[in-house]
Amino acid sequence: MASSSDSWMKEYNEAVKLSDDINGMISERSSFPASGPETQRHASAIRRKITILGTRLDSLQSLLSKNPGKSEKEMNRRKDTLLNLRSKVNQMASTLNMSNFANRDSLLGPDIKSDAMSRTVGLDNSGLVGLQRQIMKEQDEGLEKLEETVISTKHIALAVNEELGLHTRLIDDLDEHVDVTDSRLRRVQKNLAVLNKRTKGGCSCLCMLLSVVGIVVLVLVIWLLVKYL
C-alpha cells in the first residue's frame, strides 16, 4: 500500500513538472508573432501537453479513489492538491481558448473522458506514455483535418473577396459613367433652354416686322383708291 502511495506521489510530481513546463511555454508565446506557422505549432504543442496533463490528472484521481491507503487527513490534503492543480490546468486551457476543457468534450468528444479514465486503469508509467503518444497521434490527425478545412475555407474566402472586388470595381465604373451622362444631360438641357429663349425672341421680332409691312401695304392701297377714285 505504501508503494501505491509513493507511486501516486511520483505521478503527481511529474504532473506538477509538466504543469510548470506548460506555464513556461505559455510565457514564451509573447516572443512569437501574432500569427503564422510557428505560432500555430507552438499553440498546438501547448494544447497537446495540456491534454496529456488532463489525462494524468484523471489517472491520479482514479488511483486516489481506488487506493486510499492513507489517513483521512492525508487523503483530503491530496484531493485538495489535485483539485488545485486541475484548477490551474483549466486556467491554462482558458488562456488558449480551450473553454470546455473542464468537461473535455470539445477536445476528446462526448463520453471520451470516462473512456480515457478507463484506459489508464492498470497502466504503469510506460503504459501511460504509450497512451499519451496515442492520444497525441489522434490529436495530430484531428489537427491535420482541421488544417485542411481551414485552408479550404481560406481559399473560398479569397475567391469571394476577389469576386466582391470585381463587383465593386464594376459598380465604381458604372457610377462614373452615370456621373458623366448626368453632366452631359445637364449641358443639353441648358442649351435647349437657351435655344428656346432665342426662338421666342426671334418670333416676336418677325411678328412686329410683318405687322409693319401689313400696315404699309394697307396705307398704300388706301392711297391708291383715293387717288384713282
Residue 60 and residue 80 in contact, taking contact as beta carbons nearer than 8 Å: no
Kindly give the interhelix angle for 37-66 and 112-120, rounded to the nearest 10 degrees. Answer: 60
pTM of the model: 0.42
Higher pLDDT, residue 5 or 206: 206
Average pLDDT, the chain: 76
Enter the CATH code of domain 1-108. 1.20.58
Q: Where are the domains of the chain?
A: 1-108, 126-165
Mean pLDDT of 32-49: 82
pLDDT at position 107 is: 44
Closest by Cα among 76, 78, 84, 83 to 4: 78
The tens digit of pLDDT for each residue in 70-98 reads: 777 888 888 888 888 888 888 888 877 76
Residue 101 and residue 107 in contact, taking contact as beta carbons nearer than 8 Å: yes
- What's the sign of the alpha-carbon dihedral 173, 179, 184, 188? positive
Task: Inform me whether the pLDDT recorded for 48 exceeds 80.
Answer: yes
DSSP string, 99-162: TTTTTTHHHH-TTHHHHHHHHHTT--HHHHHHHHHHHHHHHHHHHHHHHHHHHHHHHHHHHHHH
- 109 pLDDT tier (thresholds 50, 70, 90): very low
